[in-house]
Structure 1
Amino acid sequence: MLRSMFTGIGGIRNFQYKLDVIGNNISNVNTYGYKKARVTFKDLVSQQISAATSSTGTRGGINGKQIGLGSGLGSIETIHTQGSTQTTARPLDLAIGGDGFFVVGSINDVTLISMDGPAGKLGTNRVNTGVPIDRVFNLSFTRAGNFYLDEYGYIVNSDGQYLIGEAAIKDVDTVITNAPHVAQARRDLETFLNSANGLVNFIKKWKEEFTKDPDNNPTTQTDFITFINNFNNELSTLNEKITGKTDPNDTTLAAAGTYFNDRVSPKASINPVPLLPANEADWPDTLAEAEKMMGPYLEGISGFVESVQQVLQDYSEPKYGNVTSFEPGLIQIPKTAKSFGITADGKVTFIDSNGQLKIAGQILLAQFPNPTGLEKMGGNTFKETNNSGKLDRNADGLTINELSRPGLNGAGEIISGALEMSNVDLSEEFTEMIVAQRGFQANTRIITTSDEILQELVNLKK
């Protein structure tokens, strides 16, 4: 009789847990990015009255007899189904259409990152080279994409945590301005062209120096075509090997040319000669013809390059006007930006004061093998646990290579101007509430019934 009373107590406690979870779900029905929870139960160990026996020659087998001792809490699971999308038309309201979490965090050590700060300090917004991301930031993960700009233009959430991704580093114009000896390289190259005859050949390798080597065999037109096709969207050093016969006079070629490919459309030339389109330049094979073509670019042996923008050649498709590389860090929109937006693949772009489209950074997403294993931390954020799977797969510090760009590697795309709503279904929650209420009542009835029977036993003495 006492067993039934304690069984009822266990049932009451379990349904109380269920009602608590249902109440929390309902209270967060309008919380952006909230993921509902559910409760499951399991039975407890059963007391064995008699063991099972096998059959004999005269009798069949007998099943065992057990009395259960009630139910226990099986699990409280977070359900990571996609919530409905609410359109807001606000550019910093972001939803994820698919798998992944925004990476946010507060800074653990400000000396490990270069960023804007008090007293007009300006930074590159990138984490110091070689420093893991999780050492710089106290990381959290969220599906709530209601972000804002702070006083310095950094993207933050409602709790002031920074949105962490890739910062766009170095405006290409600044990089070229600091390139040394541009005019001298031009003069040395023209000196060489005027002193040689034979063939001008180009090889497809990068990161080589300009060399003058009359003993080498010329390369072929096919090699140069391959060289052109190998241009990529990274900051690279262009190197050409020019071979041919020289005159009796000593002639040297000491120039090395640096080409900066910044993921933008061709935008510069040797003034006033227009730049040849990428992948369409048609170079001649003879040295004399090459001199005719290259001469206008060099502007004569005593000429000067007027500005660094005039020596830029860009072989990428037209898009953003200032990017040379991405580094792990913070995303900052300049105060002078006329407008800004976020693309489906997570690029944060803005229109600068000159009306040019530029990029401020790249949003990254975190993906977990078992998102149900994440721990809720409040503020619509989660923390990774041992059972959620670790982002730092090599246990050597989190890098950007262990995060995903939206739309790649199974990660969802960014929906700008929209927010993901809670995935709580009120009709389901009210139904579960009724079930929990009746279950609670049934377990209280077990206790009262057991009490009445015990009372009858006590009254037998009368």
Structure 2
Amino acid sequence: MLRSLYSGVSGMKSQQTRLDVISNNIANANTIGFKSSRANFSDILSQTTANASGPRATVGGIDGKQVGLGVQVGAIDTDMGQGIQNTTGRALDLYINGSGFLVFERDGNNGQVYSRNGALKIDANGNLTNADGLRVMGYAPGQEGGALTPITVPAQNAAGEKLVEGHVSIGPDGKVTARYGAEDEVIGTVSIATFSNPAGLSKIGNSTYEISQDSGNANNLVPGTDGTNTLLAGTLEDSNVDLAQEFSDMIVTSRAYQANARSITTSDEMLQELINLKR
């Protein structure tokens, strides 16, 4: 069987995977905090048809002869580059000025997940959550750097004063401030998690990630303590998808798919000619 058939098939499959990645990037061009992906190819093992030989007394060295056996998707990596700021003016929208992630309690209190989507809200029980109801993790007042706990905005303070509606804010240092009566009180501090290899995090949907063996463990910290990862309220992070680049890549991928398909049809024509020799 012609090796070109296998090479053509592997090329079509690899280009299809690349198109899948590109299409997903385009679909998420307006997803808050989305990070684009990229498919990288690598060649498959080559078949050696003649070994190399070294120089001899009267003859120079001869290079070996190898025929490639196609292509494969070597990796699909994530571009963790920062998206541009999108000003919303909403007090509970957060932009992370750095490479860190907001920390959320996994549904069912089963560990933690991480996200760059800073669109937060306060539910009926006073929990600070994301749109999917996952509670934001942080530190209790005076416990910065200690154990993480869900951040809750009490309906009233210790003195019995009620929360003034619409007066909850989050500062650059992550401190959550609420107004009771005429006074503002710090009720907690939002935590930021950093990773040695954030691109190694596993995407689990809803703009959230979980730790993988390649990401390293989370380093939880107070925003700004590492010199970066401060928070900007009233702003969200747009997707970092470059639509112009994606459309350009889509055209190149489409043409490469067509070229691989043509190599298969050409190989088929050659086989047909071989069969016709028997007539």
**Does the TM-score normalized on the shorter chain lie above 0.5?**
yes
What is the distance in 2 between the residues matched to 1:54 and 1:419? 63
1:46 alignment counterpart: 46
Counterpart of 2:200, as a letter, is G
- Higher CA-based Rg: 1
Corresponding residue for residue 265 of structure 2:
448
Residues 105 and 150 in structure 2, CA contact (< 8 A), matched pair in contact too: no
Residue of structure 1 in register with 2:134 after alignment: 161
* Aligned twin of 1:25: 25
Report the Cα distance in structure 1 between the residues aligned to 2:28 and 2:238, rounded to whole angstroms.
10
Q: For 1:403, what is the secondary structure of its paired residue?
A: strand
Instruction: Identify, as 1 or 2, the structure richer in strand.
Output: 2
Q: Which amino acid aligns with 1:70?
A: G
8 Å CA contact retained: 1:370, 1:387? yes
2:196 is the alignment partner of 1:369: yes
Residue deviations 1:104-154, cap 9 Å, x none? 02364xxxxxxxxxxxxxxxxxxxxxxxxxxx5421000000111111111
SS of corresponding position for 2:91: coil
Distance in 2 (alpha carbons) for counterparts of 1:137 and 1:165: 16
Shift of 1:411: 4.0
Q: Distance in 1 between matches of 2:31 and 2:126?
A: 26
CA distance in 1, matches of 2:107, 2:28: 28
Distance in 1 between the 2:278 and 2:107 partners? Answer: 74
Partners of 2:121 and 2:134 lie apart in 1 by: 10
For 1:437 and 1:48, the matched residues in 2 are separated by: 31
Q: Give the conservation status (yes or no) of the 8 Å contact 1:405–1:411.
A: no
Deviation at 1:381, TM superposition (A): 0.3
Q: Are residue 387 (structure 1) and residue 214 (structure 2) matched?
A: yes
1 CA distance for matches of 2:258 and 2:163? Answer: 62
Q: Could you say what secondary structure the match of 1:95 adopts?
A: strand
Unaligned runs of 5+ in 2: 156-161
CA contact (8 A) 2:49 2:67 kept: yes
Residues 250-303 of structure 1: CA deviation (Å, up to 9, x unaligned)? xxxxxxxxxxxxxxxxxxxxxxxxxxxxxxxxxxxxxxxxxxxxxxxxxxxxxx
Matched ranges for 1:338-349 at <5 A: 338=164, 339-349=167-177
**Residues 221-240 of structure 1 correspond to what in structure 2 (within 5 A)?**
none
> Where do 1:121-140 residues align within 5 Å?
137-140=110-113
Which amino acid is the alignment partner of residue 268 of structure 2?
D
Correspondence for 2:239 among 415, 422, 425? 422
Compute the displacement of 1:330 (Å).
Answer: 1.8
Aligned-residue offset at 1:100: 0.3
Distance 1:3 1:107, change over 3 A: closer
Q: Which moved more, 1:153-162 or 1:327-336?
A: 327-336
Could you tell me the TM-score, scaled by structure 1's length?
0.57
Shift of 1:36: 0.5
Report how many aligned residue pairs link the two structures. 269
Residue of 98, 117, 123 corresponding to 1:144:
117
> Among the aligned pairs, what percent are the same residue?
42
Pairwise CA distance, 1:458: 1.4
CA distance in 2, matches of 1:102, 1:83: 15
Please show how residues 234-249 of structure 1 align to structure 2 within 5 Å: none
Q: 1:351 aligns with which of 179, 192, 213?
A: 179
Superposition pairs for residues 164-313 of structure 1, below 5 Å? Answer: 164-168=137-141
Contact 1:33 1:422 in 2 (8 A): yes
Q: For 1:365, give the aligned amino acid.
A: I
Residue identity in the other structure for 1:349: T
Q: Does 1:439 align with 2:256?
A: yes
Contact kept? 2:192, 2:222, Cα under 8 Å: yes
- CA change 1:325–1:15 in 2 (3 A) is closer
Contact (CA 8 Å) 1:93, 1:418: kept in 2 or not? yes
C-alpha spacing 1:107/1:17, structure 2 compared with 1 (3 Å)? closer
Q: Is the 8 A contact 1:367 1:411 kept in 2?
A: no
1:380 Cα deviation (Å)?
A: 0.4
- Is 1:329 the counterpart of 2:157? The answer is no
Contact 2:35 2:239 in 1 (8 A): yes
Unaligned runs of 5+ in 1: 109-135, 169-323, 392-401
2 CA distance for matches of 1:387 and 1:332?
33
Task: Give the superposed CA RMSD.
Answer: 1.4
Matched position secondary structure for 2:14: helix
